[in-house]
Amino acid sequence: MAADVDKTRAKDGSRNSVQNGTGSWFWRGIWTLLIVGSVPLLAFAIKYYQDAQLLKRHEESVRILGMEGLFLFSSLDSDRDSYLSPEEFKPIVEKLTGITPPVDVEEEIIHDPNGETLILEAKMQPLQLHSMTKSKDGFLGVSHSSLSGLHSWKTPAVPSSTFSASHFRAFLPPKNKVNVGDTWWVIPSELNIFTGYLPNNRYHPPTPKGKEVLIHSLLSMFHPRPFIKSRFAPQGTVACIRASNDFYFDIVFRIHAEFQLNDVPNFPFWFTPGQFTGNIVLSKDGLHVRHFHLNVPNNRSLNVDMEWLYGASESSNMEVDIGYLPQMELKSTGPSTPSVIIDEEGNVIDSKDINQEPIQFVFEDIHWSAEISQQEAAHRLEVTLYPFKKVDYLPFSEAFERAEAENKLLHSILLWGALDDQSCWGSGRTLRETVLESSPVLALLNQSFISSWSLVKELEDLQADKQNPVLSEKARLHLESYNFPVEMMVALPNGTIVHHINANYFLDQTAMKPEEEGATFSFSGGFEDPSTSTYISFLKEGLEKAQQYVAQ
Ligand SMILES: *[C@@H]1O[C@H](CO)[C@@H](O)[C@H](O)[C@H]1NC(C)=O
Ligand SMILES: *[C@@H]1O[C@H](CO)[C@@H](O)[C@H](O)[C@H]1NC(C)=O
Ligand SMILES: *[C@@H]1O[C@H](CO)[C@@H](O)[C@H](O)[C@H]1NC(C)=O
């Protein structure tokens, strides 16, 4: 299994920027060994050994740092290997020295001092405290320190900022997206039903890379600690070409990001707007920005989720509330303009020279040769964000009830602790990005199955529940057919498992040769994709086997 994890990781490594700790050095070390042996038992032994090591380190850390100290330490230890790398230690250095090291500017951003610049202005009206449920009893039992970050955030961190127009190339579509209505991920989501969510105990956003740099600097105008990848799904940034002509695109986008309002020594307070949305009109060469707008939609009565911890534990000490944020908005003051222009005689004129009359730029109206409505573009973004959600994944017991009521089979996925066993990451991502999103699989699931996913731990709890013998037996049957790390199953409504396949075995069956890599991660999801057809076969075999039970 370790072999599979590493293989899939290598395949999608370029996109997998949230590196998963759980001892990747270790997997790499034994990688060659496993290719030779490929003995599942060995992988189990290693996993066991690794868990034991982690547990030992955890106990040692608690002894040295205490629970609260460990909490702070873990908030920095983003790969959760119980060691701090220089990268992970960076926020502390910045805090102690007051110096922020420059952010890496990626090569893809053309650095042109004579290029065009534009000015963005940030506006916000703070969250209306009386819109929060907790305000009804006067925030009874909520400590002042929990809300201190919220109370003190009244204005944008940076009210106005000058950007290089070429940085907005991050919003240009990839080469294969040229038509109006095409959508793509500017910042791909790294979450799925297998990975669960990212940890709550973090104060400082990870260093942004590539296109994340721009989104991070835009959101930093509101607050210094934007996390451009939210902890929970949906996560990431999607975009859609709303309109185009020979020179321009109008691109509509949607961002799922959040802010960390508290800092040490207070416990984290997460501020998660429902979404950020906006549009940018930019030239197809990405050197001129005609218009930029971003805001948090405010036409609902509540538009922000808030979660705060009040103790040094990941999940148990968490408060949740929602509220209304009247305004959070970024707008360009006008189109981007060159700082230097050259007149007819070839003289260089500094357009920003204060001694001269300011140069007036005249911009022609844009006429689109093709366009879709704002609503249509927004809808396409929605579908891009939630493709696998086109079928519902119900909780275990509800799924069985529904399967029984509709006389359908259960398509059930059982996985190891998605939250802290990051070794499931590889197979989980691969599954989601291929089979579970592909339209033929979605159609078959929708037509013939009720879908569900569960964690092993949840089913172990259900199995142990003496109060509910029927559900306990169903959980037992699931666990009986389970193999680490992810097992896909087809079950009768009475709980009998008629067919099952292990995710790593499945991925081995459908493994692509390296030269075909590109095809695996395209979002086309047609029948030509071998993993899609293998998954279809798996589901159909499940249907056939179920028939045999009924025939008996
Ligand atoms: C809010 O505005 C958007 C965009 O105009 C619209 O699509 C949406 O339906 C509105 N929502 C409500 C609740 O009015
Ligand atoms: C699922 O099936 C229903 C009813 O047949 C249909 O209306 C819906 O569009 C289908 N959804 C998907 C994602 O195929
Ligand atoms: C479920 O039903 C099938 C056939 O209807 C039967 O063979 C099987 O034993 C049942 N399983 C359980 C757990 O009752």
Q: Model confidence over 517-545: pLDDT tens digits?
A: 343 333 333 344 677 788 899 999 999 99
pLDDT of 516 reads 42
User: Which of 56-65, 96-105, 269-278, 445-454 is least confident?
Assistant: 96-105
Give the distance (Å) from ligand 3 centre to CA of residue 494: 6
Does the pLDDT of residue 449 top 80, yes or no? yes
Task: Kindly state the tokens that stand for 123.
Answer: 């506006």
C-alpha to C-alpha distance for 156 and 221, rounded to whole angstroms:
6
User: Does the pLDDT of residue 118 top 90, yes or no?
Assistant: yes
| Band (453; pLDDT cuts 50, 70, 90) | confident
Q: What is the model's pLDDT at position 354? A: 57
Let me know: does 2 contact 43? Beta carbons within 8 Å: yes
Burial readout 380-417 (b: 16 or more C-beta within 10 A, e: otherwise): bbbebbebbbebebbebbebbebbeeeebbbbbbbbbe
**What does the alpha-carbon distance between residue 196 and residue 420 come to, in Å, rounded to a whole number?**
9
Instruction: Report residue 29's pLDDT band, with 50, 70 and 90 as the boundaries.
Output: very low
Q: What is the pLDDT of residues 342-399, one digit of tens each?
A: 777 777 766 555 566 667 788 889 999 999 999 999 989 988 887 766 777 888 999 9
Counting ligands in written order, which one lies closest to the CA of residue 552?
3
pLDDT > 60? residue 420 = no
The helix (H) or strand (E) run that includes residue 244 is: strand 236-244
Q: Are 253 and 239 in contact (CB under 8 A)?
A: yes
Residue 102, classified by CB atoms within 10 Å of its CB into exposed (0-12), middle (13-18) or buried (19+), is exposed
d(CA 145, CA 269): 10
464 CB near ligand 2 (under 6 Å): no
- Supply the pLDDT for residue 333: 96
Pocket of ligand 1 (CB under 6 A): 297, 299-300, 375
CA of 408 to the centre of ligand 2 (A): 15
Beta strands in 22-136 (DSSP E): 116-125
Q: Which ligand sits nearest to residue 444's alpha carbon?
A: 2
Q: Are β-strands 393-394 and 449-455 bridged in parallel, bridged antiparallel, or unpaired?
A: parallel
Nearest CA to ligand 2 atom 6: 446
Q: How far is CA 188 from the centre of its chain?
A: 7
- CA gap 512, 495 in Å, rounded: 34
Ligand 1 center to residue 334 CA distance, Å? Answer: 26
How far, in Å, CA of 198 to CA of 191, rounded? 8
C-beta separation of 534 from 510 below 8 A: yes
Q: Is the pLDDT of residue 40 over 50?
A: no
* Nearest alpha carbon, ligand 2 atom 8: 446
The residues, any chain, with a CB within 8 Å of residue 481's CB and separated by 6 or more, are 487, 489, 497, 500
Is the pLDDT at 32 greater than 50, yes or no? no
Q: Can you tell me the distance from the alpha carbon of 178 to that of 197, in angstroms, rounded to the nearest whole number?
A: 33
Round to whole Å and give the CA distance between 257 and 505: 35
Closest CA to 74 of 316, 421, 313: 313
- pLDDT tens digits for range 322-350: 899 999 999 999 999 987 777 777 777 66
User: Considering only CA atoms, which of 157, 170, 177 is closest in space to residue 221?
Assistant: 157
Q: Locate 212 and state its tokens.
A: 């994340």
pLDDT above 60: residue 454: yes
- Picking from 192, 187, 190, the residue whose alpha carbon sits closest to that of residue 174 is 187
390 Cβ below 6 A of ligand 2: yes
- Indicate the average pLDDT of the chain: 80
Nearest CA to ligand 2 atom 5: 447
Tell me the CA–centroid distance for residue 503 and ligand 1, in Å. 40
Q: Which ligand 3 atom is the nearest neighbour of the CA of 474?
A: 13
How much of the chain exceeds pLDDT 90, in percent? Answer: 47
pLDDT value at 266 more than 60: yes
Q: Is the pLDDT of residue 404 over 50?
A: yes
Q: Which of 295, 296, 299, 302 to mutate to test the pocket of ligand 1 (most atoms within 8 A of CB)?
A: 299
Nearest ligand to the CA of 493 is: 3
Residue 416: partners with Cβ closer than 8 Å, 6 or more residues away: 424, 455, 456, 484, 485, 486
Distance CA 436, CA 386 (A): 11
DSSP 3-state of 379: helix
- CA nearest ligand 1 atom 2, residue: 299
pLDDT at 22 over 60: no
Residue-wise pLDDT for 195-243, tens only, equals 557 888 899 998 899 999 999 999 999 999 999 999 887 889 999 999 9
Q: What are the tokens at 401?
A: 């009830």
Is residue 160 within 8 Å of 123, Cβ to Cβ? no
Is cis: bond before 156, omega within 30 of 0?
no
> What mean pLDDT comes out for the span 411-428?
56
Exposure string of 300-332, with b = 16+ CB inside 10 Å and e = fewer, is eeebbbbbbbbebeeeeebbebbbbbeebbbbb
Q: How many C-beta atoms lie closer than 10 Å to residue 242's C-beta?
A: 24
pLDDT, one tens digit per residue, over 132-149 is: 988 988 888 888 889 999
Q: What one-character DSSP code corresponds to residue 50?
A: H
| Average of per-residue pLDDT across 494-500 | 96
Strand pairing partners for 185?
238
- Local structure of 275: helix, strand or coil: coil
Q: Which pLDDT score is estimated for 79?
A: 77
Query: Given the CA of residue 495, which atom of ligand 3 is nearest to it?
Result: 13
| Contact criterion met (CB below 8 Å) for 49 and 57 | no
Give yes or no for a contact between 289 and 311, defined as CB atoms under 8 angstroms apart.
Answer: no
Q: Does the CB atom of residue 480 touch ligand 3 within 6 A?
A: no
Q: Which residue bears the tokens 């899609």? A: 532
CA-wise closest residue to 181 among 173, 169, 170: 173
- The CA angle 383-422-208, to the nearest 5 degrees, is 65
- pLDDT at residue 249 is higher than 80: yes
Task: Kindly give the number of the ligand 2 atom that is closest to the alpha carbon of 443.
Answer: 14
pTM of the model: 0.68
The band of 456, judged by pLDDT with boundaries at 50, 70 and 90, is confident
Distance (Å, whole) CA 514 – CA 66: 47
Cα–Cα distance measured from residue 215 to residue 223, given in angstroms and rounded to the nearest whole number: 13
CA atoms of 221 and 224, how far apart (whole Å): 7
> Which ligand has the shortest distance to the CA of 252?
1
- CB of 442 within 6 A of ligand 2: the answer is yes
Residue 48 pLDDT more than 50?
Answer: yes
State the average pLDDT over residues 60-66: 87
Contacts with 144 (C-beta within 8 Å, 6 or more apart), sequence order: 151
Residue nearest to atom 14 of ligand 2 (CA): 443
Q: Which atom of ligand 1 is nearest to the CA of 375?
A: 7
What percent of the chain is modeled with pLDDT above 70? 76
At residue 139, φ and ψ (nearest 5 deg) are 55, 40
Position 44 scores a pLDDT of 55
* Cis before 485? omega within 30: yes
Res 508 pLDDT > 80: no
Residue 136 CA to ligand 2 center (angstroms) comes to 42
Ligand 3 pocket mutation pick from 410, 463, 471, 494 by most atoms within 8 angstroms of CB: 494
Helices marked H in 124-257: 144-151, 212-220
Confidence band for 2, pLDDT divided at 50, 70 and 90: very low
Atom of ligand 2 nearest to the CA of 446: 1
- What number is the average pLDDT over the span 257-283? 95
Q: Is the pLDDT of residue 18 over 60?
A: no
Instruction: Note the pLDDT tens digit of each residue in 279-325.
Output: 999 999 999 999 999 999 998 888 999 999 888 765 557 888 889 99
Q: What's 477's DSSP letter? A: H
Lowest mean pLDDT among 181-185, 425-429, 486-490: 425-429
**SS3 track for 423-450:** HHHHHHHHHHHCHHHCHHHHHHHHHHEE
pLDDT, position 500 = 97
